């Protein structure tokens, strides 16, 4: 029996804005239902998270607000870069996430997009929005850490 070669996930895109705007509580990996030209466009790195989020309807999870640019050599088929894309999750995972979003006022946001064993995967996170006070505290903590590192480097 041949061993499978372990490959590190190849990062396509990282949503940096989400760590600034939200407090990330719980992470989960999901597959994406994509067309062929969309995968080619992702390999070229043409994706923008924008204000992407995950919505739940009819027992399914949908990725909304994420733009995958049309692939130039796709041929005659029209591609909608802003279409909703279905997330591939187990039913019990969808139910758990939907309950958290309904009851606790949380949201589910995309964090990063990557290839794992030739498949496109999306890391999503259950998140709570930061208010202005929380953001100020984060900025103060970063400034203090930066000052401390500067002092330590000078010694």
Q: What is the pLDDT along the chain (155 residues), one digit of tens a residue?
A: 455 555 456 888 898 888 888 888 999 999 999 888 888 888 888 898 888 999 999 889 999 999 988 888 777 777 778 889 999 999 999 999 999 998 887 999 999 999 988 889 999 999 988 777 777 888 888 899 998 898 888 77
Q: Hey, which CATH number is domain 12-154, 2.40.280.10, 3.40.1110.10, 3.20.20.70, 3.40.190.10?
A: 2.40.280.10
- Predicted pLDDT at 4: 52
Kindly report the pTM of this predicted structure.
0.75
From 32, 6, 23, 51, select the one nearest 114 (Cα to Cα).
Answer: 32
C-alpha 123 chain-centroid distance:
5
H/E run at residue 81: none
- Predicted pLDDT at 22: 86
Per-residue pLDDT of 13-35, as tens digits, reads 898 888 888 888 999 999 999 88
Sketch the domain layout of the chain as residue ranges: 12-154
Secondary structure of 13-65 in the HEC alphabet?
EECCHHHHHEEEEEEEEEEECCCHHHHHHHHCCCEECCCCEEEEECCEEEEEC
From 47, 30, 48, 29, select the one nearest 38 (Cα to Cα).
Answer: 47
- Predicted pLDDT at 126: 92
Q: What is the DSSP secondary structure assignment for residue 5, as one 8-state letter?
A: P
């Amino acid at each position: 029996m041949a061993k499978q070669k372990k490959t590190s996930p190849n990062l396509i895109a990282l949503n940096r804005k989400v760590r600034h705007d939200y407090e990330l509580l719980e992470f989960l990996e999901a597959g994406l239902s994509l067309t062929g030209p969309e995968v080619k466009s992702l390999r070229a790195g043409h994706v923008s998270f924008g204000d992407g989020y995950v919505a739940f309807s009819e027992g399914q999870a949908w990725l909304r607000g994420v733009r995958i640019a049309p692939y130039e050599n796709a041929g005659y088929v029209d591609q909608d870069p802003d279409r909703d894309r279905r997330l591939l999750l187990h039913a019990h995972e969808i139910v758990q996430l939907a309950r958290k979003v309904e009851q606790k006022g949380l949201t589910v946001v995309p964090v990063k997009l990557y290839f794992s064993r030739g498949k496109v995967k999306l890391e999503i996170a259950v998140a709570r929005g930061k208010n202005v006070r929380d953001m100020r505290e984060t900025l103060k903590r970063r400034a203090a850490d930066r000052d401390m590192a500067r002092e330590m480097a000078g010694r």
